[in-house]
Amino acid sequence: MQFIVIFMSFDIFILYKPIITMQNKRTEAPAALSYAHSYDEEEYPFEIAKQPPIIIGRDEEDLQKYGAKGTLALGKHIVGTGEDAHLTTPVLLDALRPHIIVITGKRGSGKSYTLATIAEELTKLPDNIAKNLCSVIIDTQGIFWTMKTPAEKDYMLLDEWKLKPIGFNAHVYVPQGQAAVFSKANVEFDDSFSFAPYELTAYDWINVFGLDSNKPLGMLLLKVIKNLRPPYILEDIVSAIKSTHGWEEQKPALENMFLSAEEWGIFGESKAPDVLVPGKMSIIDVSLTPESVRALLVALISRKLLQERIIARRKEELADVQLISSVRRTPLPWLMIDEAHNFLPSDSTTAATETLNKIVKEGRQPGITLVLATQRPERLHPEALSQADILLSHRITAKSDIEALKSVMQTYLLFDIAKYINELPKLKGTAILLDDNSERIYKIRVRPRQSWHAGSSPVAI
Ligand SMILES: Nc1ncnc2c1ncn2[C@@H]1O[C@H](COP(=O)(O)OP(=O)(O)OP(=O)(O)O)[C@@H](O)[C@H]1O
Ligand SMILES: [Mg+2]
């Protein structure tokens, strides 16, 4: 029986292929699509109609090789408009290769929710795949800690999707100096993290203080840090400023900046969050950290991630060349950043800009996936937008934002993106999905979360 099914699927593929190539380019996806392949019934998400699913972000070679293995069940395809709109086939997202995914949409349209759905799906992958991946969520609003709690309140909606409420094994980290505040607010966390002042480069300090390296304060800072030898603490930096010859006008201001850094609550011994662990979901809660310092934390965490993956990739490639299979693999991280325009803005530089841009440009080789959520695509760095291979846009209304989406996804210029967005049923979680790989655009509904969502707006009654 198994044989026949595989054979039939292959047959369908042959029949479908020419049609796909003709219809595919720059058109809306046909209702039942795309690449037919054998599909194990048990793996089928949401247990709905046994049509071939839509697979986003996977090229034809991988489709042939892996079918739907290693995909995240993101939601379902919406077919039709207005009252005729209905949900059809599952929409699956490739998790085997690195991607740059941009999630956008106006306030309350479902960006953080979708981010969490992706994180849930990563941990639901079969063990042999999940162990090669891990996720890191940068939580700017303190809303992801509830991922541990099942979404019992949504059991009816979940039931429509043949899903159940589940709590996930998320590991929540808070800055060491703020642990007491979190505890007092009854926010559950698992561990705290801190960085040592000597782990910051002179340019990290320049960016976090908002200085200019060509102006006297910035120049003094560069000079002081350059002459210090690790390990050193904040007091050592202040002493070094005091004992610098000259610069009398600038010294008090710079001393004060470093003294105030003590209050950020992020400095201590070097204890970075341990995120590169097979299958682990880490949540870095930066909600109580000042804006500029958040970017510094993102810089430090993502830089470490990038460095470790670059080293690991070299070892893995060497092992592949020498046909050694026993090498311990460092998982491929999915770095998910909510409110990403604050870290990688289009019009200014933050402490995180350089590292994030590096991941955008070079992250494919070390295998880092970046998921950036933002209310305003127009305010996100153009490099991130133009390198995105998957773009999920919930409802947006600002003309400038629609233009920003259009201008980056050049291949979609023939689509009237605004029309697609306007056609979306007025339901939470609906979005258009642009897949650069197949050059297609889909209307989808993101599946409901199985864990508790803490980002809803409060009601006054
Ligand atoms: N796929 C979905 N299915 C069902 N409900 C959803 C879905 N996506 C979002 N929602 C609902 O919409 C609300 C707002 O979603 P979310 O908090 O993700 O908005 P947001 O776009 O991140 O907003 P903000 O820009 O203010 O952070 C959620 O509380 C949830 O109730
Ligand atoms: Mg949000």
Q: In this structure, are residues 452 and 188 in contact, taking their beta carbons and an 8 Å threshold? A: no
Per-domain residue ranges for the chain? 56-190+275-446, 197-264
Q: In this structure, are residues 354 and 333 in contact, taking their beta carbons and an 8 Å threshold? A: no
> Which of 43, 100, 91 is closest to 66 using CA atoms?
43
Pocket test for ligand 1, best of 113, 161, 443 (most atoms within 8 A of CB): 113
Q: In this structure, are residues 406 and 417 in contact, taking their beta carbons and an 8 Å threshold? A: yes
> Which of 94, 89, 91 is closest to 73 using CA atoms?
91
Tokens for 21?
Answer: 């190539």
How many angstroms does the Cα of residue 109 sit away from the middle of ligand 1?
5
Which protein residue has the closest C-alpha to ligand 1 atom 14? 108
| pLDDT at 39 (0 to 100) | 42
State if residue 123 touches ligand 1 by the CB under 6 angstroms criterion. Answer: no
How many angstroms does the Cα of residue 115 sit away from the middle of ligand 2?
9
Q: Which residues pair with 71 in a beta bridge?
A: 94
Q: In this structure, are residues 451 and 168 in contact, taking their beta carbons and an 8 Å threshold? A: yes
| pLDDT at 200 (0 to 100) | 97
Tell me the C-alpha distance between 418 and 437, whole Å: 21
Chain position carrying tokens 């998957």: 390
75 Cα nearest atom in ligand 1? 1
How many angstroms does the Cα of residue 455 sit away from the middle of ligand 1?
7
| pLDDT at 322 (0 to 100) | 80
Ligand nearest to the CA of 111: 1
How many angstroms does the Cα of residue 450 sit away from the middle of ligand 1?
14
Series of mean pLDDT values for 10-residue runs along the chain (461 residues): 35 28 35 37 52 90 93 95 86 97 95 98 95 97 95 95 95 96 90 97 96 97 97 97 97 97 94 96 95 95 96 89 77 97 95 97 96 94 93 90 76 74 91 91 96 79 62
Q: Could you list which residues have their CB under 5 Å from ion ligand 2? A: 111-112
Tell me the C-alpha distance between 59 and 147, whole Å: 32
Q: Which residues pair with 371 in a beta bridge?
A: 101, 336
| pLDDT at 419 (0 to 100) | 87
The separation between the first and the last C-alpha atoms of the chain, rounded to the nearest angstrom, is 58
| pLDDT at 52 (0 to 100) | 81
Which protein residue has the closest C-alpha to ligand 1 atom 18? 110
| pLDDT at 14 (0 to 100) | 28
Q: What is the pTM of this model?
A: 0.89
Residue 409's φ and ψ, nearest 5 degrees, are: -95, 70
Tokens for 5?
Answer: 């099914």
Tell me the C-alpha distance between 340 and 354, whole Å: 14
Tokens for 235?
Answer: 């007091």
Identify the CATH number of the domain defined by range 56-190+275-446. 3.40.50.300
State if residue 113 touches ligand 1 by the CB under 6 angstroms criterion. Answer: yes
Tokens for 404?
Answer: 């920003």
448 Cα nearest atom in ligand 1? 3
The torsion of the CA quartet 182, 185, 186, 190, rounded to 10 degrees, works out to -10
Q: What number of CA atoms fall less than 13 Å from residue 109's CA on the CB side?
A: 24
For 221, 325, 326, the CA distances from 322, given in Å and listed in that order, are 47, 9, 11
State if residue 108 touches ligand 1 by the CB under 6 angstroms criterion. Answer: yes
Tell me the C-alpha distance between 442 and 208, whole Å: 40
Segment 217-272, tens digit of pLDDT: 999 999 999 999 999 999 999 999 999 999 999 999 999 999 999 999 999 998 99
